[in-house]
Amino acid sequence: MSADPADGTTARPTVVPGQRATRQRAAIGDLLDQLDDFRSAQDIHEELRRRGEGIGLTTVYRTLQALAEAGEIDVLRTAAGEASYRRCSDTHHHHLVCRTCGRTVEVEGPAVEHWAEKVAAEHGFAEIDHTVEIIGVCESCRS
Amino acid sequence: MSADPADGTTARPTVVPGQRATRQRAAIGDLLDQLDDFRSAQDIHEELRRRGEGIGLTTVYRTLQALAEAGEIDVLRTAAGEASYRRCSDTHHHHLVCRTCGRTVEVEGPAVEHWAEKVAAEHGFAEIDHTVEIIGVCESCRS
DNA sequence: GAGCTTATCGACACCGGGTGTCAGTACCGG
DNA sequence: CCGGTACTGACACCCGGTGTCGATAAGCTC
């Protein structure tokens, strides 16, 4: 979470001390960088195999899970209960998803954040966390 | 969805024409009326068996699914990917859930509805649907 | 660079929520 | 009361995801 110390590292590290940089992890990271919508673990695994990466499904599951836990990527559950992953910006935000083509737009909503906190406080709730997803049909899918 | 035609039916019917009133459906309906927080299908099944209702798990799954589809009850997915059901008020609303005891509070938020619509419109999305869940720790669980 | 330690990998078995099937059952209209 | 049909439920099955454990390879030390 904290900013990089002032050494010359370039982008987001994805490498945590005590965690090794492996070909598989790099491949998943690269793929996530190239994609801009939510993909299931199986999708990602399949795509990597298609690209000739020798990688196991278990590894994909675990790596995605670890990335999600580290806050590197966002997870969301589809209606079918399947988990989808996507690399997202650091800032807190929510998603606008097209139910037809799956296109995703990140949206910020200070209004919602405030509303959530206010409502929670009114009912005596603390340590608030919230999920907001908006699902609809995007312009190009409507035509 | 549409209001009842002007005959003398009392409360919410749960009975749709072409759908039969069975003991099992009634039992599920009754139980849902008595509960006021989200329960998994398996919970509900177990509770019904405990009460001596002879009812199959499959039936519970299907009935809950049908009720959810008809808008009679609300569904939400737990972090584990399990579906939870609860009978809710007719009006559109969201939930404030205690992550410790599971207590649920229904909250309304015109502000969020407007925000969602506005944001969606700005990005050319239509036929909007949205989910908002706030999770925290309630007052009694904090002490 | 060699050697060693240890995190990581991945094939495979397994788990558990949920669904499809299909014969038996029980509503409900006539 | 009877027949047709919606519903039921035991059971097999599906599939996303996790645990296991021997094999592998990253990275440190010398």
Q: What percent of chain A has pLDDT over 90?
A: 57
B19 Cβ neighbours under 8 A, 6+ residues apart: none
- Single-letter amino acid code for the residue at A41: A
Instruction: Write phi, then psi, for B100 (nearest 5 degrees).
Output: -95, -55
Tens-place pLDDT, residues A109-119: 888 999 999 99
Tell me the chain A residues in contact with residue B133 when contact means C-beta distances shorter than 8 Å: 130-131
Which nt has its C1' nearest the CA of B61? C18
Closest chain B residue by Cα to residue A119? B107
Looking at residue A1, its pLDDT comes to 44
Residues 74-133 of A with CB within 7 A of strand D: 81-83
Tens-place pLDDT, residues B29-50: 999 999 988 999 999 999 999 9
Q: How far is the CA of B20 from the C1' of C26 (A)?
A: 10
Per-residue pLDDT at A96 exceeds 50: yes
pLDDT band at A100 (very low <50, low <70, confident <90, very high): confident
Looking at residue B124, its pLDDT comes to 95
Taking an 8 Å cut-off on Cβ atoms, the answer to whether A111 and B107 are in contact is no
* Residue numbers in chain B where pLDDT is lower than 70: 1-18
Which nt has its C1' nearest the CA of B25? D7
Residue from A101, A127, A103, A130 nearest A115 by CA: A130
Residue from B59, B132, B99 nearest A133 by CA: B132
How close B80 gets to chain A, by Cα (Å)? 9
Dihedral of CA B65/B71/B72/B75: which sign? positive
Looking at residue A18, its pLDDT comes to 67
A55 CB and strand C closer than 7 A: yes
Report how far residue A108's alpha carbon sits from residue A95's, in angstroms, rounded to the nearest whole number.
8
Tens-place pLDDT, residues A6-51: 343 334 444 555 678 899 999 999 999 999 889 999 999 999 999 9
CB A65 within 8 A of CB A28: no
Tens-place pLDDT, residues A73-89: 999 888 788 999 999 88
Mean per-residue pLDDT, A43-70? 94
Q: Beta strand pairing status for A73-77 and A104-107?
A: unpaired
Looking at residue B7, its pLDDT comes to 40
pTM of the model: 0.80
Closest chain A residue by Cα to residue B96? A120
CB A71 within 8 A of CB A78: no
Report how far residue A100's alpha carbon sits from residue B35's, in angstroms, rounded to the nearest whole number.
36
Instruction: Write phi, then psi, for A41 (nearest 5 degrees).
Output: -55, -40
Looking at residue B16, its pLDDT comes to 56
Residues 97-136 of B with CB within 7 A of strand D: none
